[in-house]
Amino acid sequence: MKIASLLPSATEIVCSLGLQDSLVGVTHECDFPVGIDAKPHLTASRISHETMTSKEIDHAVRSQLDGHGSIYDLDTDLLEKLQPDLLITQELCDVCAVSYKIVSKAAKIYAADATVVSLEPTTIEEIFANIITVGELTDFREKAEDVVADLRRRLGIIRQKTLGLNSRPRAFMLEWLEPAFAPGHWAPEQVEIAGGECLLGKPGERSVTTTYNAIRESNPDVMVLIPCGYYTHDILRQLQFTKFPADWREIKAIEKGEVWALDATSYFSRPGPRVVDGAEILAKIFHPDIFGSPTDAEAVRIDPDLLQFEQ
């Protein structure tokens, strides 16, 4: 079977089933497991995370989508050349990948024999269901069930160790810097499983814009920076161009030095197997006495001097 993935998360799911060699095309963002970026790229982005601030990116995205455009290009010539048997896409978010409408139309014209499947998870359980779905479509259901069973086992270990905790840190997961976004989809679940209390976000619901004032009033004990699609080094770079309100200095998390930057791309933005890694890392941040402290590769504690405040 020839598989084309238009989602980094789908690419990771396919590879978790041992089907890396079946992938004939991936997105320009696919970078896990190592070496997968050598596959032909079916997409390209019109927006650069490397050269634009989070505020500029937000404006560019809204401008494109409000004009009913797309922030991604699909290489239809390559799609026609590859002729995949299975094409995996999504309808959940036009910011995360090429829109389903564009993919569906292109598939009918350039890959008419392909089975097109859209993955739409909003919770961890739905992510697991997607893994099973991909397993069924590729005749690897048994392997998919093994993968999901192991992911459940790992989450079960965290739940067991945090069961009956007297203290759960109140955590805010910042999903975008400017404007500020509150967490949604599976991120609140990751927080709860890790033994925290998620602020300003509900499981299974979309992440939404919030205000700096609302975050200040929520007064989190821990603040975790996970701007969608950002790696840790992207966050550290963006902090140079971001000014927070002066009264943010009074937020408990900032006063106590409990502000962390995590690899959002790998562990929070993509609905694939590594959301479990994200929960494990959060557990280390929230309860280092139980799980041990996170490594530098897992999470970076933000030096207060890196945070800029308005005068």
| Residue 40 and residue 72 share a domain | yes
In a domain, 151, yes or no: no
pLDDT interval class at 282 (50, 70, 90):
very high
- The pTM (predicted TM-score) of the whole model is 0.93
CATH number of domain containing 13 = 3.40.50.1980
Q: State the pLDDT at residue 173.
A: 98
The Cα 187–Cα 279 span in angstroms is: 9
| Residue 138 and residue 208 share a domain | no
Q: State the pLDDT at residue 68.
A: 45
% of the chain residues with pLDDT over 90: 79
Number of domains in the chain: 2
What pLDDT, in 10s, does the model give residues 283-299?
999 999 999 999 999 99
| Residue 63 and residue 126 share a domain | yes
In a domain, 160, yes or no: no
Residues 210-230, mean pLDDT to the nearest whole number? 97
In a domain, 255, yes or no: yes
Using CA atoms of 162, 206, 296, 242 in order, give the dihedral in degrees to the nearest 10.
-130
In a domain, 75, yes or no: yes
| Residue 205 and residue 128 share a domain | no
What pLDDT, in 10s, does the model give residues 107-139?
888 888 899 999 989 999 999 999 999 999 999
| Residue 128 and residue 12 share a domain | yes
In a domain, 150, yes or no: no
Residue range of the domain that includes 90: 3-144
Tally the C-alpha atoms within 13 A of residue 47's C-alpha that lie toward its C-beta.
24
The Cα 207–Cα 209 span in angstroms is: 7
In a domain, 157, yes or no: no
| Residue 218 and residue 118 share a domain | no
In a domain, 153, yes or no: no
| Residue 77 and residue 172 share a domain | no
| Residue 106 and residue 182 share a domain | no
Q: State the pLDDT at residue 55.
A: 79
| Residue 294 and residue 262 share a domain | yes
